[in-house]
Amino acid sequence: MKLRVRVPLALAALLALAGCQVTTFELSPLAALPCDPAVAGEWHSVGDEPSGDGEMILRVSADCQLEIEERTPAGPRHGEATPLFLGEHAGQRYAWTDGAWLLRRFGEDHALPAGDVHLVRFAITGDRLELWSTDDKPIAHAIIDGELSGEVIARDRSLFNRLTAPQPPEVLARPGLFDAEPAAFRKVEPRP
């Protein structure tokens, strides 16, 4: 389960085919900021082909509640909403959610300790949202090599990284911490 939002974030299929890869933080390395009105709204994934647009929809309320809808051949798949937290460091913007919520939302049964968060880097330019997920394999190597504090669990084609203890905000600027290619979303007016 590479929790990335690439072409589009059709994670259900990826979960079944690729196994799961995710990195969580025991604690967010950043303090949460107030919800940014620019983040609020409905964001549709942008696919490689126009027919792939909108397979994943992110809905962020004015009070930063995140709801995700997946559009599947069997119909839309909804899940519970969760608080979305925002932060900033060194000119970059970040968002995070409860890690256990994310794994439940996408059908993964791996148990995380209470309070772990899943964090992404993001940028908004006009009506375009780009999300960079963590690059999980290099993070696993950095944990194993003692460059990052954490633990790695690898089983059944799945990789679960957990960055432990308080991580300084500077960890977010570590080269290779995030995927090179972002997932893209486009802001649309919600349907009535």
Tens digits of residue pLDDT in 14-24:
333 345 899 99
All domains of the chain, ordered by start, with CATH?
11-188 (2.40.128.570)
Residue 95 has pLDDT above 90, yes or no: yes
pTM here is 0.87
Residue 12 has pLDDT above 50, yes or no: no
pLDDT at residue 73, as a whole number:
86
| pLDDT tens track for 42-65 | 999 998 777 768 899 999 999 999
pLDDT at residue 5, as a whole number:
35
Among 135, 124, 161, 130, smallest CA distance to 25 is for: 161
pLDDT at residue 6, as a whole number:
33
| pLDDT tens track for 163-178 | 998 999 999 999 999 9
Residue 4 has pLDDT above 70, yes or no: no
pLDDT at residue 108, as a whole number:
83
pLDDT at residue 192, as a whole number:
64
Residue 149 has pLDDT above 70, yes or no: yes
pLDDT at residue 41, as a whole number:
96
> What six digits make up the tokens of 2?
């590479």
